[in-house]
Amino acid sequence: KAGVTQTPRYLIKTRGQQVTLSCSPISGHRSVSWYQQTPGQGLQFLFEYFSETQRNKGNFPGRFSGRQFSNSRSEMNVSTLELGDSALYLCASSFQGDWDNEQFFGPGTRLTVL
């Protein structure tokens, strides 16, 4: 069974640009969550999607947005990039996102903002 895939794996952008990251969950999984990981803040929750609906959002500015498609693939977008957005962006896949579902991470997208 294929794991979670994320593209691209690495990105270099400049301040003010926007970026779109993609995540394909494990086959059959319908919940996709996004996290930002930085050395200072650790892993922080961005948002979670299930059946094309955002069910929950973390404490991030509106520049961070996402969506989910009917095949459960998800994208997140960051507009007007800032230096502080440099991080590893991870998506996690689970069956339904419920408490009794395991959650598996993809390899991540390393974003560098110059």
Partner 1 sequence: QKEVEQNSGPLSVPEGAIASLNCTYSDRGSQSFFWYRQYSGKSPELIMFIYSNGDKEDGRFTAQLNKASQYVSLLIRDSQPSDSATYLCAAHYGNNRLAFGKGNQVVVIP
Which residues form the interface with partner 1 (CB under 8 A)?
31, 33, 35, 42-45, 48, 50, 55-56, 58, 88, 90, 92, 97-100, 102-108
Give the nearer residue to partner 1 in terms of CB position, either 17 or 95.
95
Q: Provide, rounded to whole angstroms, the least separation between the CB of residue 57 and partner 1.
A: 9
Q: Are strands 53-57 and 42-50 parallel, antiparallel or unpaired?
A: antiparallel
Other CB atoms within a 10 A radius of the CB of residue 45 amount to 15
Give the nearer residue to partner 1 in terms of CB position, either 7 or 14.
7
Q: Provide, rounded to whole angstroms, the least separation between the CB of residue 39 and partner 1.
A: 10
Cα–Cα dist 71/64, whole Å = 22
DSSP code, position 100: T
Q: Provide, rounded to whole angstroms, the least separation between the CB of residue 41 and partner 1.
A: 9
Give the nearer residue to partner 1 in terms of CB position, either 80 or 102.
102
Buried b (16+ CB within 10 A) or exposed e, 85-108: bbbebbbbbbbebeeeeeeebbeb
Q: Provide, rounded to whole angstroms, the least separation between the CB of residue 16 and partner 1.
A: 28
